[in-house]
Amino acid sequence: MAKRDYYEVLGLGRDSTDDELKKAFRSLARKNHPDKNPDDPEAESRFKEIQEAYAVLSNPEQRRRYDMFGHDAPGGSPFGPGGFEGVNISFDDLFGGGGFESVFSQFFGGGSSRGRSNRGNDILIRHSITMAMAMLGGDTELEANLYTPCESCEGRAASSPDGVKTCSTCSGRGQVAQNRKVGPFIQQVVSDCPNCNGDGRIITDPCKECRGEGREKKKQTIKFGIPAGVSDGTRMRMGERGEPLRGGGGRPGDLYIQINILEHEWYERDGSDLLMALPVGYPELLLGTKVVLPHIDGKDITIDVPAGSNPGDTLELKGRGFPRSRGRGRGNVTVLLKLFVPEKLPKKVKKKIEDMQDEIGIDHDLIEDLVRQEARKRRRSR
Ligand SMILES: [Zn+2]
Ligand SMILES: [Zn+2]
């Protein structure tokens, strides 16, 4: 399927303003939020498409590139080789103050840089979980060495609250405007305030513990919940749990935890379904059998192989897969039957099989019929 034009996705003209962009995104994201469309499996992909369009068009640099090259910009997708992965935006974030902007500002590292940001860096931590945890969800935690506000000065960077003064040169704005003469013109140049280095504050008694940094690196235990049925690569945002600004002030960045689901010993996951291959011997295919295996939901699964099965047949165990995304019910476990062929046959066994060959082997006189039958079956199943 061809990738849709970002402006078309958001229903906007190419000359739309930032405000119109934000409004269109908010309204479409609310309409298509998977939480509000539990019965519509398409909602999630539409939600992601809207997110991607907004991520690019809300970044001035990326929007210029997109306007110039469309989807075929040199260097490939701006989101890297894997393309856009989507982000978790809660429904609440789409109302009022709009917590969603900070989610998007992480993608292209800053975007419009206007002096010193008043937010610390966002941090991304990759966290691996088992497939059982991904299926069932639950509380977990991780340990990381991260910056946190200095305990002794509470992140102020000054020993006492009085030790933080508003810079008088820039009146706390962090930036100063200077008029410079360029030929016949007067050009106004805005730059970081030289007195406070763009901070807007002057620390008169730096905290001794953090040497005026306002933060310290500490081993932290971060507790968080995994939603049941989470997909690989999901990013969870923890607001203001990222890096505090160096030198205090402002707000800390956000902390993102990216979920990596570890491989299971025999299952492969396909959305809410699980796939596995089951080797069974020729007698079991012929006569049927029951196979019991431990399952990731904690209860065993019983695979009922009917008599007269063929290698390549698939069996569906309904409702034993992953929870379906935001909907009700669970996906299936699909079992692919494979023929188990022993590597070595003891002489005695070989002899027995040779004796049975007339009954269970192929009849060479009928081989053309058999081949024809097989071809018909294959064409039917296509
Ligand atoms: Zn301190
Ligand atoms: Zn200043």
Task: Please name each of the domains of the chain with its CATH number.
Answer: 1-112 (1.10.287.110), 114-147+215-261 (2.60.260.20), 268-381 (2.60.260.20)
| Ligand 2 center to 192 CA (angstroms) | 8
- Compute and round to an integer the Cα radius of gyration of the chain: 31
Report how far residue 117's alpha carbon sits from residue 320's, in angstroms, rounded to the nearest whole number. 49
Residue 171 has a pLDDT of 87
User: What's the 176 CA to ligand 2 centre distance in angstroms?
Assistant: 8
C-alpha of residue 174 to centroid of ligand 2, in Å: 5
Among all bound ligands, the one having the nearest atom to the CA of 171 is 2
d(CA 275, CA 87): 27
- Side-chain-side CA neighbours of 357 within 13 Å: the count stands at 9
For ligand 1, the distance from its centroid to the CA atom of residue 252, given in whole angstroms, is: 15
- Span from the CA of 248 to the centroid of ligand 1 (angstroms): 9
Note the ligand closest to the C-alpha atom of 191. Answer: 2
Ligand minimally distant from the alpha carbon of residue 201: 2
pTM for the structure as a whole: 0.61
pLDDT of the residue at 106: 64
Gap from CA of 166 to ligand 2 centroid (Å): 8
CA of 256 to the centre of ligand 1 (A): 25
Query: How far does residue 296's CA lie from ligand 1's centre (Å)?
Result: 47
Q: How far is the CA of 252 from the centre of ligand 2 (A)?
A: 21
Nearest ligand to the CA of 246 is 1
- CA 257 to ligand 1 center in whole angstroms: 27
**Ligand nearest to the backbone CA of 172:** 2
CA angle 97, 99, 157 (to 5 degrees): 100
The answer to whether the CB of 150 falls within 8 A of the CB of 216 is yes
In the block, which residue shows the tokens 């940094």? 213
Q: Which ligand is nearest to the CA of 175?
A: 2
pLDDT at 98 (0 to 100): 54
- The ligand whose atoms approach the alpha carbon of 163 most closely is 1
Expressed in angstroms and rounded, the spacing between residue 101 Cα and the centre of ligand 2 is: 27
State the distance from the centre of ligand 2 to the C-alpha of 146, rounded, in angstroms. 29
Would you give per-residue pLDDT tens digits along the chain (382 residues)?
Answer: 678 999 999 999 988 988 889 889 988 988 888 888 888 888 888 998 999 999 999 888 888 888 888 888 777 778 877 778 777 777 777 765 556 776 776 676 543 344 456 788 889 999 999 999 999 999 999 999 999 999 999 898 999 989 999 899 988 888 888 877 777 777 777 888 889 888 888 999 999 999 999 999 999 999 999 999 999 999 999 988 999 988 888 889 999 999 999 999 999 999 899 999 999 999 999 999 999 999 999 999 999 999 999 999 999 999 999 998 767 799 999 999 999 999 999 999 999 999 999 888 889 999 999 999 999 988 887 6
Structure tokens that stand for 228 in this block: 């049941």
> What's the CA-to-centroid distance between 218 and ligand 1, angstroms?
13
Task: Calculate how far, in angstroms, residue 214's C-alpha sits from the geometric centre of ligand 2.
Answer: 18
**Is residue 121 a contact partner of residue 105, using CB atoms and an 8 Å limit?**
no
The pLDDT assigned to 96 comes to 57
Compute, in angstroms, the gap from residue 306 CA to the centroid of ligand 1: 71
Ligand number nearest to the C-alpha of 170? 2
From the CA of 169, how far away is ligand 2's center (Å)? 5
Distance, CA 164 to ligand 2 centroid (Å)?
Answer: 12
Which residues crowd ion ligand 1, with CB under 5 Å? 150, 152-153, 207, 209-210
